[in-house]
Amino acid sequence: MTAVEPAIEIRRLVKTFVVHAHGGVELAVLRDLNLTVYPGECVALRAPSGAGKSTLLRTIYANYKPQAGTIRVRHADGNIDMVTAEPRHVLAVRRRTIGYVSQFLRAIPRVPTVEVVMEPLRALGVAAKPAAARARDLLMRLGIPERLWSLSPVTFSGGEQQRVNVARGFIAELPILLLDEPTASLDVASRDRVVALIREARERGGTIVGIFHDADVRDAVATRVVDLADLSAA
């Protein structure tokens, strides 16, 4: 039997922030962190608020540059280190391999919600008509009323914006998903819809690393819960 290769392999990761407002003091957030995640896993990160969970997700996505370590992700037919990759390679990974759902929707004003959601598919070369159809299906499934689809989501409520954010993150069915509180500010019915999407992504072999402060959500989707503090000793 062929061994399954990791989708994400992190070794000796160090991320430190310099707090210039306090005399340049260095704040070590991630210290020699190690983590391996395989296809089909949903790893839930657990740690106190401010301990570095979101920092880890942003570092995997290459929003943050670490001081040391490697973050190798399975991309196309090989692996790429997100720490040393050139910007064009990082963009390729984001387009085809890693989806990221943050707690906040970032959208250009006046762009309709359907277009915001379908954009990741269009970036992959999917034609406008099927991309829009897929976007509408997801918006309907997540309970966004059809009357809102032609409007910009920047005017929506926090819960509506979060569901648009989830739809955009899941639409391309990318192999790896980074989820930073995807059910924050959602009611129970909306939360359950998002949980169903996460489970489906996991069952089709997707790799998920997420932050879920809601214990019920974490229990419903996680195949493994890891304490951030323990990863430095892995």
Of residues 82 and 155, which shows the higher confidence score?
82
The continuous run of DSSP H or E covering 186 comes out as none
Residues 32-73 have pLDDT tens digits of: 999 999 999 999 999 888 789 999 999 999 999 999 999 999
In whole numbers, what is the pLDDT of the chain averaged over residues? 92
First and final C-alpha spacing in the chain? 26
**pLDDT > 60? residue 234:** no
Instruction: Give the model confidence (pLDDT) of 121-133 as tens digits.
Output: 999 999 999 999 9
CA distance 141 to 195: 12
- The pLDDT score that the predictor gives to residue 25 is 67
Question: In CATH, which superfamily holds the domain spanning 1-97+174-234?
Answer: P-loop containing nucleotide triphosphate hydrolases (3.40.50.300)
CB-based contact 186:163 (threshold 8 Å): yes
Residue 98 near residue 92 (C-beta atoms within 8 A): no
- Compute the distance between CA of residue 191 and CA of residue 215 in angstroms, rounded to an integer: 12
Over 80: is that where the pLDDT of 3 sits? no
The residue ranges of every structural domain in the chain are: 1-97+174-234, 106-171
H helices of the chain, where? 53-60, 87-96, 113-123, 128-141, 158-170, 188-203, 215-221
Number of H helices, E strands in the chain: 7, 9
pLDDT tens digits, residue range 175-233?
999 999 999 889 999 999 999 999 999 999 999 999 999 999 999 999 999 999 888 75
User: How far apart are the C-alpha atoms of 92 and 210, rounded to whole Å?
Assistant: 22
Contact present, 217 and 195 (Cβ < 8 Å): yes
pLDDT tens sequence across 6-40 = 999 999 999 988 776 656 667 778 999 999 999 99
DSSP per-residue codes, 90-102: HHHHHHHTEEEE-
Confidence of residue 104 (pLDDT cuts 50, 70, 90): confident
pLDDT in tens, 69-100: 999 999 988 999 999 999 999 999 999 999 99
- Strand-pairing partners, residue 73, are 8, 80
Q: How far apart are CA 78 and CA 139, in angstroms?
A: 34
Task: Note whether 196 and 220 are within 8 A (CB).
Answer: no
Q: Residue 69 CB: number of other CB atoms within 10 A?
A: 18
Could you tell me whether strands 207-211 and 176-180 are parallel, antiparallel, or unpaired per DSSP bridges? parallel
Measured distance CA(35)–CA(43) in Å, rounded: 10
